[in-house]
Copies of this chain bind each other. A is one copy, B any other.
């Protein structure tokens, strides 16, 4: 993806790979705020090497998790071409939530934004375009309530992320029930008037940033 200034020396590349593998595992188990020393130790490499390769936490998250975000974007692409548009909408939400449930770091990434993780942020932008399409199709088919907006998508991410944080250890599929309630609220026949206009994209972006820092 990047211009790749110069190839790394072999040992450096090997250490980089070890770090990414370790980061994937540790982020998945313990979240994105894990001490970086723990990842270095897991990779069998010193903390200095970690900082050599990844000057910020975001850079490491980028390397570890961009793949998973790309997978989610692919899911969105597939959802946008499902024959039944409501099926596409619901299927996409379920699949991405499954990804969230399987990886604590990815789960956190879905609810907040991490400006340092540039590749991931770019992928998210791509995903957003596909979401617009998924929503539009489901509404044209009359299945998704007409007052749903793409900004309402964030509600699902935030909700399910929290439920997974809370229940992931001992009731790992509780989020399915939570999502089912939300989906029932999104179906066209369920619609009663909403009390507030939807969040604009920049308001969602700001909200995601707010969750980043305390």
Contact = CB atoms under 8 A, between A and B. Distances in A.
Interface of A: 31, 33, 111-112, 152, 154-155, 158-159, 161-163, 165-171, 173-174, 176-178, 180-187, 189-192, 194-199, 203, 206-208, 210-211, 214
Contacts of A182: 181-182, 185
Contacts of A163: 155, 158-159
Given A181-B152, A187-B190, A199 B33 contact: no
Contact of A166 (B165, B176, B185, B208): B208
Q: Which of A187, A190, A211 has the most CB of B within 10 A?
A: A190
B158 A214 contact: no
Identical chains bound together, number: 2
Nearest to A145: B184
Nearest to A165: B211
Contacts of A194: 177, 180-181
A181 B170 contact: no
Contact of A190 (B185, B195, B203): B185
Contacts of A186: 181, 185
A164 B183 CA distance: 21
A196 B174 contact: yes
Contact of A158 (B33, B162, B184): B162
Contacts of A168: 210
Contacts of A31: 214
A27 to B, nearest CB: 13
B207 A170 contact: yes
B180 A199 contact: no
